[in-house]
Each structure stands twice: as structure tokens, then as C-alpha cells.
DNA sequence: TTGTATGCGTTATCAT
DNA sequence: ATGATAACGCATACAA
């Protein structure tokens, strides 16, 4: 920039003013300056600017599983919107590991990101300090964390699961199994609650034996499902609380020599491109993944751009998920 | 940091030396300093450091489609390895749009990332300038770009496709269709070439009518597939050159009232979790997605950490993909 | 409207 | 071994 100033025969400050429009500069000088910029091949140094302004035009995005199509679409939406507003996105993945999340949170904080969007793997001192510090806005997505008062975008997991299980009950099923995710997550707890509600609503007694727990990955889901399927009086329908346990469930059904939906009805959380293609076409709870990302980024942008908005109380927006009934949950007519 | 110095009663320079180990500091002072650091709650400001050192400990990752499971796993591997080495990852997605890619490349360059990993949507002046400038290391993944001499990690697309089509031919198919991706991409060209080679090898005459083109997304794949299927003398087997066109293909088959593999055999590029679960279990070409990410990051790290390695000539590593034969490509015994 | 001077938080070069 | 001081490249308050 000093080179540009020299080449254009003006002062440093004038160049800065011309580049940022922070002060009026005569048209003549502007022309000279821009010409000089091209000549010198000047590129504004964002680092130096950051040091001076205290902002990096970068947000930190922390997700629990980047491999999950659910997060993938959300990340995409966030990234798209962020870029449109001049923000870069620094991505971190905790792999559902709270310790990793802490590390990454520190990495992001060190780099002085202007804001955070995080799908937390669990409450940590770092996360709490971050939101309580109040210096950097953070918006939670997908999962709420207890006692953390900050912006958030989640879906109504209770209603979504209730709808799905209600659908199963309406089809005549009385023994409905559940494969839950981790109860330490708000999603896990809420979906479990939705299951209970639907059961009660349908006048079906809750049976602990019918709920399996898949804390990590498809293999865990497989084991939980296999256990359910080996019950003497096995369920005639099963709802899987996430994508991965859904995969495990379908594998277990296949390996048990059972057929879906003839022998057992299935529905699961999280829709994905292929769900509609194979046999059986899978009944799913489709989250508004794109909208979640957009909403989250919008919330963050408000706090970022608008000084008065920074003082606003926490806003949590709950979006609705949609039950997509396909073949896997409805027994074919005989 | 100046506060720390004050609190510990030492000079700024000494604190810096103690923190970075850049100069010997007596144990006594070290103790005082670290205590002061905790007292003050000091956190090193990466921005200021970057301004001084000229490095950001951040790499730019540019992919064409973050929604694609292929990229997803690769991104994950890159991110993991980067973090282990103290690097942050700034993620950009071009959506297969060269113009977007240019914008994002500029965004990353402005932020002074130390290195790039890019799955390019096409050659652009920005990309060329970047590698020819030689100031920042660039490693290409998935796709090579003509005339760009830089590190790269790709797979042997010709061999992979040849293997898959050969498998189809070996099963007795003589009319084998192809749904290609964009020919402007190296992957598109190489996979097409592999198809031609397998045909020639099997003594099957090439028929232009049997190759459809799906440039963007599943819908495009659907159309291309539908056209192939409506041919008077339609193919008895089809190979889809990527995940998305595979989805379109399967939908088209279903909508045409055909059954796979009974009426038509199918194989497609890119494996994914669900491929093995539904009926028909899908025959796929599985890329070593994780290895691609690891290799790419390794290549980049070498250039980043080792001053002498920066002068090394471009290295392109070609990994092998693996054909996973499942049900969709083999006609059941009658 | 334009220029001068100063500081952002580090690291690095020199003395001491 | 430690301390004073000068950059790094930009933005801005203030003076002209």
C-alpha cells in the first residue's frame, strides 16, 4: 500500500481512504490511485486490516459429523450465505468428541473468528466461557445445550418423532421399537420424549425392552437393532433416531432374514438423496437442513453487522421437520 | 502480552521468548511468566503473529460439491490431519461453477492462507496465477487441470472405469450404456476413455447413441438415463460416472418400469454407506476417499514445513479405486 | 480534500 | 540471559 501511495504520488492515508471509501477522495486522485494499484499489483492485506480493526471477516463452523448428509447440506447453506456477505468459513469437525470440540474451539478462538456456529458434541468449559464471555456471538445449531443462553436454530424433535411414531401406530403397530441416539444430546432426549408421547397418545404401554441405544455410528445401530429383532416378542415396527442407526437397522433386518416392510416396518430420522431410490423406499423425517443453515447464518449476521443487535436476548428458532411417508413403513396390501 | 510482561515484571521480549522458545529463558523467569499468563488470562493473538511472520497456519480447501459423500470423506481427512499439525481449514465450495471458484480463490488468497487444496471446477486465470506465482503451494485433488504443473492426488480413472465396464462385459453384456460427467473435467474425460478401452478390449463396437451426458446433478442424470432406456434397442447394462447420475439412473429405471438387475445391470462411480443396504445392493467403484485427503495434506505439509521441499518438482500421486461387485450388476440365475 | 502520526500485538534484531 | 526498539501493513484521529 505504501508502494501504491508512492506510485500515485499521494499519501498512505489517501490510498486507504480511496480503497475503503472511509473518507471522500477527489475523482482525479481516485483514478490515479486505482491505476497505481493495478500497476503495483497491490492486494489488500486482510491480516493487517484484521489486526487494526479487530475483525477477521471469518466465522468458525463447528459440526459434530461432517460425513452426515444432514450437516453437509447445512454447512453448504452457511458457507454460501457467509461468502455472499464477505465472510470466510473455518470448518472444524468434532467427530462427536467433546475433547476434540474443545481443541477446535480454541483453535477458532485463537484465530479470532468474528462468530461461531456450532453443533456441539456436549457442554464444555470452553463453549460456556465463549457464550458467557459475550465477546463473540455464537449460534447453536441442531443441538441445544443445557443452560447455555444464546441464539440457536433447532427443529422440533419432539413433534417430529411423535409424528413418525404416530404414523407407525396408525398403521396398526402396537409393538414399536426405538433406536435412540445419545441421551446427552438434546436431540436424543427430545426424540425419546416424542416417542413416549406418541405411545401414550395411542394407548400403548411403554416397554423399556423395545428401546435400544446406538450411541455411535452404524455398527452400534446394527447391534441395537439386532438385539431388538432377536426378542421373543419382537417389535413389528422400529423407528431409528438418526441416519447412521438407520443404516445399522436396515442391515440388521437383512441379516436376520427379515423383510421390510413385510415383516417389519421402518422409519428413520434424516432424509437423503438415495432414500427415495432403492427398495424399500425409506420413510424418513426430513429436516429442513438448508433452512437451518440459512437461519443460523442470518442470526449470526445480525449480531455481526448490527451493533444494537448484539445486546438482544438469545433467540431460539425452532423449525419443523417433515414426515415423508414412503414404502418402508407401510405393509403392502395382501 | 504487554500485560503479562508487566505482571511478571519482565520485558515484552522475554515473554515472547518464553512463549515461543525462540530464545533461552531462565527457569525462574519462565515460572514467573507462565504464572502471570494464567493470572492475566493471556491468549496469544494469532492475527498479530501472522502479520509479523507472514504465515497464518491456515489452509484453503476448495471443493466442487460439499454435498457429495466423496468430497465429504476427503474433507474430513484433510481437516483432521491439518488440525493435528496446527493448521486451520478454510472451506469453500464452488458448486462446480468456475466463476464461484474464482471468487473463493480470491477470498482465500486475501486471507493469506499458507496453502491450497483444490478440486477445481475448471481452469481459471486465478488458479493458474496461483500455481505459477509459486508463492503458495497448491495441491490439486480429484481433478487434474491441463497445463497446471503442481502437486496432485487423483485416482486412476481410466483403469477404474475400464474394470467396471469390463466386469459388465464379462457378465455377457454387449450393449453397455454410459452416463458421463462433464468432459471439461479430467475425471470425465478419463472415465470416458476407460469405457472406450473396455469396449475395445471386449470387441464391442462403440455406439455414440449409448452414451448420455449428465453435466449437472441427479435430474440431468435422470434425463440422460431416460433417453438411453427409451432406445428401441436399449442397453442391457449402464455405467454411471458419478454418484448423482447414479441416483438419476436408478430413478429412471424405476420410472420406466424396469427392474435392476433383472432387466438392466447397473454399476456406478463412488461408493457410499447406503449402497450396501438396500435392494438392489449397488455395484460401485469405491474411491479411496480418505487416502486422497491424507495424501493431499501430506504433500502440502511437506511444502509448508520443509523449505527445501518447496523447490521440488510437481508430484502427482495416482491412487487406485476398487470395484465392489454387488447385486445391481449381476443378473440373478434363472 | 489531503497528509502526518500513532497504534493494533507480535516477533526479531540488536545491545546490554 | 534479558531488555529496548524497530518493523509487519493497515486504519484512523487529528492537523493542515
Q: Are residues B112 and B176 in the same domain?
A: no
Is the domain of B162 the same as that of B266? yes
In the 8-state DSSP scheme, what is residue A330? S
Which tens digit of pLDDT belongs to each residue from A139-160?
Answer: 999 999 999 999 999 999 999 9
Cα(A298)–Cα(A4) distance, rounded to whole angstroms?
37
Beta bridge partners of B93: B63
Q: Say whether the CB atom of B28 is under 7 angstroms from strand D.
A: yes
Chain A residues close to B61, C-beta within 8 Å: 91
The answer to whether B180 touches B211, Cβ cutoff 8 Å, is: yes
Strand order of the β-sheet with B115-118 is A316-319, A151-155, A138-141, A115-118, A58-63, A88-93, B88-93, B58-63, B115-118, B138-141, B151-155, B316-319
Q: What is the pairing mode between strands A316-319 and A151-155?
A: parallel
Q: Is residue B107 part of a domain?
A: yes
Q: Do A118 and A21 have their domain in common?
A: no
In a domain, A50, yes or no: no
Taking CB atoms and an 8 Å limit, are B251 and A112 in contact across chains?
no
| Helix (H) or strand (E) run with residue B228 in it | helix B217-229
Closest CB to B277: pick one of A76, A93, A251: A251
Query: Apex CA A238: angle with CA A232 and CA A241, to 5°?
Result: 135
CB nearest to B79's CB, from A91, A276, A282: A91
Answer yes or no: do A173 and A260 share one domain.
yes
Burial of B225 (0-12, 13-18, 19+ CB in 10 A): buried
Taking CA A137 as the corner, what is the angle to CA A303 and CA A86, rounded to the nearest 5 degrees? 60
Q: Are residues A216 and A283 in the same domain?
A: yes
Identify the closest residue of chain B to A110 by CA–CA distance. B46
Q: Is pLDDT above 80 for A74?
A: yes
Q: List bases in chain C with any atom under 7 Å of a protein Cβ.
A: 1-5, 7-14
Q: Is the CB of A49 under 7 A from strand D?
A: yes
Residues in a beta bridge with A284: A268, A324
Does one domain contain both B279 and B302? no
In chain B, the residue whose alpha carbon lies closest to the alpha carbon of A282 is B278
Q: Which candidate from B47, B111, B279 shows the least CB-CB separation from A51?
A: B47
pLDDT at B332: 75
Residue-by-residue DSSP string for A226-280 = HHHHTSTT--SEEEESSHHHHHHHHHHHHHTT--TTTT-EEEEE---GGGGTSBS
- Chain B's closest residue to A253, CA to CA, is B277
Q: Quote the minimal CA–CA distance from B44 to chain A in Å.
A: 7
Least-confidence region, from A79-88, A230-239, B20-29 = B20-29
Same domain, residue pair B27 and B139: no
- Mean pLDDT within B72-80: 98
- Measured from the Cβ of residue A191, the count of other Cβ atoms closer than 10 Å reads 28
Query: CATH number, domain at A30?
Result: 1.10.260.40
How many Å apart are B23 CA and C14 C1'? 14
Q: How far is the CA of A39 from the C1' of C3 (A)?
A: 23
Q: In terms of Cα–Cα distance, which of B236, B238, B197 is closest to B214?
A: B238
Q: pLDDT digits over A2-22, tens only?
A: 999 999 999 999 999 999 998
* Residue B176 located in a structural domain: yes
Question: Are A19 and A167 part of one and the same domain?
Answer: no
Nearest to A72 among B67, B92, B112 (CB): B67
φ/ψ (deg, to 5) at B269? -70, 145
Provide the strand spans (E) within A23-132. 58-63, 88-93, 115-118
The residues that bridge with B53 in the sheet, in sequence order, are none
pLDDT bracket for residue B331 (50, 70, 90): confident
Of B46, B67, B73, the CB nearest to A112: B46
The pLDDT value recorded for residue A145 is 95
Report the gap between the CA of B277 and the closest CA in chain A (Å). Answer: 6
Residues 10-49 of A with CB under 7 A from strand C: 10-14, 17, 23-26, 28-29, 48
Which residues in chain B have their CB less than 8 angstroms from residue A104's CB? 83
Residue B334 has what pLDDT?
58
CA distance B120 to B105: 10
Report the C-alpha gap between A80 and B71 in whole angstroms. Answer: 17
Q: Which residues of A touch B73 (CB under 8 A)?
A: 67
Nucleotide nearest to A13 (CA to C1'): C3
Average pLDDT over residues A181-192: 95
Half-sphere exposure of B310 (CA within 13 A, CB side): 13
Q: Mean pLDDT, to the nearest integer, of A251-276?
A: 95
Contacts of B275 in chain A (CB under 8 A): 274
At B279-318, the pLDDT tens digits run 999 999 999 999 999 999 999 999 999 888 898 999 999 9
Are B171 and B137 within one domain?
no
- β-pairing verdict for B58-63 and B88-93: parallel
What's the number of domains chain B is made of?
A: 3
The residue among B28 and A217 whose pLDDT is bigger is: B28
Q: In whole angstroms, what is the distance from residue B53 CA to residue B35 CA?
A: 26
CA atoms within 13 A on the CB side of B3: 10
Query: What are the chain A neighbours of B103 within 8 Å (beta carbons)?
Result: 83
Which segments of chain B are extended strands (E)?
A: 58-63, 88-93, 115-118, 138-141, 151-155, 176-180, 211-213, 237-240, 265-269, 283-286, 316-319, 322-324
Is any atom of strand C within 7 angstroms of residue A2's beta carbon?
A: no
Closest residue of chain A to B279, computed from CA coordinates: A279
Q: What angle do CA A287, A290, A292 make, to 5 degrees?
A: 70
CA distance B212 to B238: 10
Q: Domain range for residue A282?
A: 157-287+323-329
Which residues of chain A are within 8 Å of residue B46 when distances are taken between CB atoms?
110-112
The whole-angstrom distance between A202's CA and the closest CA on chain B is: 31
pLDDT, mean over chain A: 95
* pLDDT above 90 coverage of chain B, percent: 94
Give the pLDDT score at A215.
86
User: Is residue A334 assigned to a domain?
Assistant: no
The answer to whether the CB atoms of A111 and B46 lie below 8 A apart is: yes
Whether residue A332 is predicted with pLDDT greater than 80 in this model: the reply is no
* Chain B hits for A108, Cβ within 8 Å: 88
CA geometry: angle at A12 spanning A8 and A14, to 5°? Answer: 75
- pLDDT at residue A154 in the model: 98
pLDDT band at B186 (very low <50, low <70, confident <90, very high): very high
Report the distance separating Cα A63 and Cα A40, nearest Å.
Answer: 41
Q: How confident is the model at residue A282 (pLDDT cuts 50, 70, 90)?
A: very high
| CB nearest A247 (choices: B89, B104, B273) | B273
Q: Is the CB of A135 under 7 A from strand C?
A: no
Q: Is A231's CB less than 7 Å from nucleic acid strand D? A: no
Where residue B307 sits, what CATH number does that domain have? 3.40.50.2300
Same domain, B254 and B168: yes
Which residue gives the smallest C-alpha to C1' distance to C7? A52
Q: How far apart are CA B281 and CA B322, in angstroms?
A: 16
d(CA B164, CA B268): 8
Q: Are residues B249 and B186 in the same domain?
A: yes
Nucleotide nearest to B53 (CA to C1'): C11
Residue B90 predicted with pLDDT over 70: yes
Indicate the pLDDT class of residue A242, thresholds 50, 70 and 90: very high
Residue at minimal CA–C1' distance from D12? A13
Is pLDDT at A103 greater than 90 in this prediction?
yes
Write out the H or E segment, with its range, that includes residue A327. Answer: none
> Does residue B52 lie in a domain region?
no
CB pair distance less than 8 Å for B91 and A89: yes
Asked if pLDDT for residue B333 goes beyond 80, the answer is no
| pLDDT, chain B, mean | 95
Nucleic acid strand C within 7 Å of B53 CB: yes
Q: Of the candidates A120, A150, A118, A153, which has an alpha carbon nearest to the alpha carbon of residue A135?
A: A150
Whether B319 has a pLDDT exceeding 70, the answer reads: yes
Predicted confidence (pLDDT) at residue B121 exceeds the cutoff of 70 = yes
Q: Please check whether residues B126 and B195 belong to one and the same domain.
A: no
Residue-wise pLDDT tens digits, B236-274: 999 999 999 999 999 999 999 999 999 999 999 999 999
Within 53-82 of chain B, which residues have Cβ less than 7 Å from strand D?
A: none
Pairing of strands A176-180, A237-240: parallel
Res A138: pLDDT: 98
A116 CA to C8 C1' in angstroms comes to 23
Residue in chain B closest to A111 (alpha carbons) equals B46
Q: Which residue has the higher pLDDT, A239 or A307?
A: A239
In a domain, B273, yes or no: yes
In a domain, A273, yes or no: yes
Count how many pairs of residues, chain A against chain B, have C-beta atoms within 8 Å: 133
A116 in a structural domain: yes
Q: Is B210 exposed, middle or buried (0-12, 13-18, 19+ CB in 10 A)?
A: buried
The pLDDT, as a whole number, for residue A219 is: 92
Count of residues making up chain B:
334
**pLDDT of res. A334:** 58
Contact A159, A269 (CB under 8 A): no
Amino acid at each position: 500500500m505504501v508502494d501504491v501511495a508512492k506510485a500515485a504520488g499521494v499519501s498512505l492515508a489517501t490510498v486507504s481512504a480511496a480503497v475503503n471509501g472511509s473518507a471522500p477522495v477527489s475523482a482525479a486522485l481516485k483514478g490515479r490511485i486505482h491505476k497505481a494499484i493495478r500497476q503495483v499489483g497491490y492486494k489488500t492485506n486482510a491480516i493487517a486490516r484484521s489486526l487494526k480493526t479487530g475483525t477477521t471477516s471469518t466465522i468458525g463452523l463447528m459440526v459434530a459429523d461432517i460425513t452426515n448428509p444432514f450437516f453437509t447440506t447445512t454447512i453448504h447453506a452457511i458457507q454460501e450465505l457467509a461468502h455472499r456477505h464477505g465472510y470466510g468459513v473455518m470448518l472444524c469437525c468434532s467427530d462427536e468428541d467433546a475433547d476434540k470440540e474443545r481443541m477446535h474451539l480454541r483453535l477458532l478462538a485463537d484465530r479470532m473468528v468474528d462468530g461461531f456456529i456450532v453443533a456441539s458434541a456436549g457442554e464444555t468449559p470452553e463453549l460456556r466461557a465463549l457464550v458467557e464471555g459475550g465477546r463473540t456471538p455464537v449460534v447453536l445449531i441442531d443441538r441445544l445445550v443445557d443452560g447455555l443462553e444464546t441464539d440457536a436454530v433447532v427443529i422440533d424433535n419432539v413433534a417430529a418423532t411423535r409424528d413418525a411414531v404416530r404414523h407407525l401406530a396408525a398403521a396398526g403397530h402396537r409393538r414399536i421399537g426405538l433406536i435412540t441416539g445419545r441421551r446427552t444430546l438434546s436431540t436424543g432426549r427430545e426424540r425419546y420424549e416424542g416417542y413416549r408421547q406418541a405411545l401414550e397418545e395411542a394407548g400403548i404401554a411403554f416397554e423399556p425392552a423395545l428401546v435400544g441405544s446406538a450411541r455411535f455410528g452404524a455398527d452400534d445401530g446394527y447391534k441395537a437393532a439386532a438385539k431388538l429383532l432377536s426378542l421373543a416378542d419382537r417389535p413389528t415396527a422400529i423407528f431409528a433416531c438418526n441416519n447412521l442407526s438407520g443404516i445399522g437397522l436396515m442391515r440388521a433386518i437383512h441379516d436376520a432374514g427379515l423383510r421390510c416392510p413385510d415383516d417389519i416396518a421402518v422409519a428413520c430420522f434424516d432424509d437423503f438423496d438415495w432414500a427415495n431410490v432403492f427398495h424399500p423406499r425409506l420413510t424418513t423425517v426430513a429436516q429442513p437442513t438448508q433452512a437451518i443453515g440459512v437461519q443460523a447464518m442470518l442470526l449470526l449476521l445480525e449480531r455481526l453487522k448490527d451493533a444494537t443487535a448484539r445486546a438482544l436476548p438469545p433467540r431460539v428458532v425452532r423449525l419443523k421437520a417433515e414426515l415423508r411417508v414412503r414404502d418402508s413403513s407401510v405393509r403392502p396390501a395382501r
